[in-house]
Structure 1
Amino acid sequence: MNMTELTLKRSGIRWLWLAVLVFVLDIAIKLVVMNSMDYGWQHRVEVLPFFNLLYVHNYGAAFSFLSEQTGWQRWLFTGIALGVVLLLMYWMRRQPVTDRWSNCAYAMIIGGAVGNVFDRVVHGFVVDYLDFYWGVHHWPAFNLADSAICVGAAMLILDGFRSKEAK
């Protein structure tokens, strides 16, 4: 059987449960943050000597890229994310369900992307709440969706180094 003949039951699409889990957890955490924390860096909650919880808005993309623009970037990033989600779902459809590594990576990226798209469409911005720092140097705030996207992307990069026999 070649990859294009995979049934839905045997394709990687079955791994979309992980994308749904990432999405639900991301939105739930964001709702808790929005409903229980005051907005802004001055209201951060110190958790560890290198980590704070806070509630901030990101109108741009990674590292607040294009956040100072007039609003058009909201729809650009939404369109890009939806295009990537459709492409990854297409690839999952062509993967066997047994290819756990790739399907898990695709699902994590999809779940994170949909979580951030939800924020952009509903709120007009992405809710960020994780603040890691060293001394006075802070990493840009991020959220669970961003983390899932980064972990999924790292998994795909690592997958590129695995031998075909290992796959």
Structure 2
Amino acid sequence: METSRLKPNALAWIAVSIALIAIDQWTKFLAVGALAFGESRAFIAGFWNWTLAQNTGAAFSFLADAGPWKHWFFIGLGFVVSGMLVTWLWRTPRADWRTALPFAVIIGGVLSNVIDRFRLGYVIDFVDWYVGGHHWPIFNVADSCIMVGVALLLWGSFRGK
């Protein structure tokens, strides 16, 4: 097969992942510099606080109280999920942004949280949304990337070609 027939794959979208990792790590750096762990400051009264927290679990602190095995489990899971998504990017045509963008966004979120787990042993969370006394679990930019990426994948799956 001649090379002129090969279509470029979507691995170039990894640049989006790298940018999101940088943004997430920068916002965590700012949060740690501005707040003490457990400290909370109102950003939009009645809706949004900056609250610095350590999350040793997964989303919504799932398995936070489990044994030390979870640390390496979540790191390994992050690498497996990211590896699968990178493989799918490699197989995806570069122009197929409806597939490539969600994969890249999820990869950025997952790997940024893996960086925290390696460096610190936990993930830094700081965005605290609430209404009245009901608080959404505290999260970070990387968590938002994962959720937005999954939502984009679902949206794309219902839209068809």
What is the TM-score of this pair, normalised by structure 2?
0.94
1:17 maps to what in 2?
15
Candidates 25, 48, 60, aligned match of 2:57 = 60
Tell whether 2:41 aligns with 1:45. yes
State which of 31, 35, 39 in structure 2 corresponds to 1:33. 31
Tell me if the contact between 1:59 and 1:125 (Cα under 8 Å) persists in the aligned partners. yes
Q: Distance in 2 between matches of 1:155 and 1:73?
A: 28
Distance in 2 (CA, whole Å) between partners of 1:26 and 1:65 is 21
Aligned residue-pair number: 157
Q: Given that residues 6 and 96 in structure 1 are in contact (C-alpha distance below 8 angstroms), is that contact kept between their aligned partners in structure 2?
A: no
The alignment's C-alpha RMSD in Å is 1.4
The reply to whether residue 131 of structure 1 matches residue 117 of structure 2 is no
Percent identity at matched positions?
A: 37
Rounded Cα–Cα distance in structure 2 between residues aligned with 1:13 and 1:51? 36
Q: Give the distance between the partners of 1:160 and 1:101, measured in 2 at CA.
A: 9
> Where does the alignment leave 5 or more consecutive residues of structure 2 unmatched?
none
Shift of 1:36: 2.0
CA distance in structure 2 between the partners assigned to 1:126 and 1:146 by the alignment: 10
Distance 1:82 1:163 in 2: 29
SS in 2 for 1:97: coil
Q: Distance in 1 between matches of 2:137 and 2:147?
A: 14
Contact 1:19 1:110 in 2 (8 A): yes
For 1:157 and 1:33, locate their aligned partners in 2 and report how far apart those are by CA, in whole Å. Answer: 31
> 2:138 matched to 1:141?
yes
Alpha-carbon offset, residue 163 of structure 1? 2.3
